[in-house]
Amino acid sequence: MSRRRENIADIMAELIHIGHIIQEELRAQGRSVTWLARQLGTSRMACYRIFHSYSIDTQVLFRISGLLGQNLFEIYEERLNADS
């Protein structure tokens, strides 16, 4: 296996729990699940499903990033660059 493929395998072994990160950022900003659900035009239950997910649709992540004023994609970029 090439060195690059080994790095990617190592990175993927340390899964990013993006749902948990979103939930923590929401909490840090003092925003409620109800607020997020209204902003996304979805239910609170759907938001809780996001919080329990290791991955979410990129379009949803883009919208949540904008709502929270945080580039949540940077988390993945930092992980990729950490082993470069």
Enclosing domain of residue 26: 3-82
- With CA atoms as reference, report the closest residue to 74 among 8, 13, 18: 18
The CATH number linked to 32 is 1.10.260
**83 has pLDDT over 80:** no
pTM, 2 dp? 0.80
**1 has pLDDT over 50:** no
* Number of domains the chain contains: 1
- With CA atoms as reference, report the closest residue to 67 among 43, 15, 32: 32
pLDDT, tens digit (0-9, with 9 covering 90-100), for 12-54: 557 889 999 999 999 999 999 999 999 999 999 999 999 999 9
Tokens of 45: 């239950």
> What gap in Å lies between CA 10 and CA 50, rounded to an integer?
25
Q: Give the pLDDT of residue 5.
A: 53
> What gap in Å lies between CA 15 and CA 43, rounded to an integer?
26
